[in-house]
């Protein structure tokens, strides 16, 4: 069975670029062939600033939006975060969405597809990694960073990747699949402990 890859779109504002890259990556991952890609758009879950009364380790969720978010992340085997850079940092919607859950994230690998101006979102990508480790996600070193991303879009805002990006995205998914297999085995072992 293919591993489920959740491609998490991390921006929520009107007119955002996130869905352009998320949509492209979904098609690319499908062609890559090792994953069953699922577009997981944080905006579609309508998560307010964390509004659960209990710590997520208890899984005593009160709100439908949390239950839906929990179900989506629980079903995933691996993640790619499609991450913009805001003020040299991680977009707040990503931080908030991570904070909502705990067990659903654990022992799963993640890669980061970042985009931005001169930095290609790399500062946000690096800042995201320690947060991921704190909920038990393994951030892998391979990723994609798109500097001056707006110059890569055509007049219809369609994205046409360079050969270099295609190679980087392929390596990212190859490596993510290795980790995904290893951690799937680990989770199965934990479940039978």
Cβ at position 125, least distance to ligand FMN in Å: 11
Select 20 or 138, whichever has its Cβ closest to ligand FMN. Answer: 20
Structure tokens, 172 = 């990212």
Angle among Cα 141, 147, 150 to the nearest 5 degrees reads: 135
CA distances from 139 to 25, 35, 43 (A): 18, 17, 22
Select 138 or 152, whichever has its Cβ closest to ligand FMN. Answer: 152
- Report the half-sphere exposure of 155 (CA within 13 A, side-chain side): 0
- Give the separation between CA 159 and CA 16, rounded to whole angstroms: 14
> Does 158 interact with ligand FMN (rule: CB under 6 A)?
no
Binding mask 103-132 for ligand FMN (x = CB under 6 A): -------------xx-x-------------
Q: Binding residue for ligand FMN (CB under 6 A) from 22, 56, 84, 139?
A: 84
Q: Are 82 and 8 in contact (CB under 8 A)?
A: yes
> Does 159 interact with ligand FMN (rule: CB under 6 A)?
no
Contact residues for ligand FMN, defined by CB under 6 A = 11, 13, 16-18, 84-88, 116-117, 119
């Amino acid at each position: 069975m293919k591993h489920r890859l959740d491609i998490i779109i991390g921006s929520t504002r009107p007119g955002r670029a996130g869905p352009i890259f998320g949509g492209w990556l979904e098609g690319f991952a499908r062609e890559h062939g090792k994953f069953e890609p699922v577009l997981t758009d944080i905006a579609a879950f309508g998560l307010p600033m964390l509004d659960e009364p209990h710590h997520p380790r208890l899984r005593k969720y009160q709100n439908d939006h949390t239950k839906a978010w929990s179900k989506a992340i629980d079903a995933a085997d691996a993640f790619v975060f499609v991450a913009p850079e805001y003020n040299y940092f991680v977009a707040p919607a990503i931080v908030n969405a991570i904070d909502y859950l705990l067990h659903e994230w654990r022992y799963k690998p993640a890669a980061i597809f970042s985009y931005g101006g001169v930095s290609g979102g790399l500062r946000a990508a690096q800042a995201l990694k320690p947060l991921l480790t704190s909920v038990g996600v393994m951030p892998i070193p391979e990723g994609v960073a798109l500097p001056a991303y707006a110059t890569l879009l055509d007049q219809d805002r369609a994205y046409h990747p360079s050969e270099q990006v295609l190679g980087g995205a392929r390596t990212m998914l190859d490596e993510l699949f290795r980790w995904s297999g290893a951690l799937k085995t680990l989770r199965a072992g934990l479940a039978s402990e």
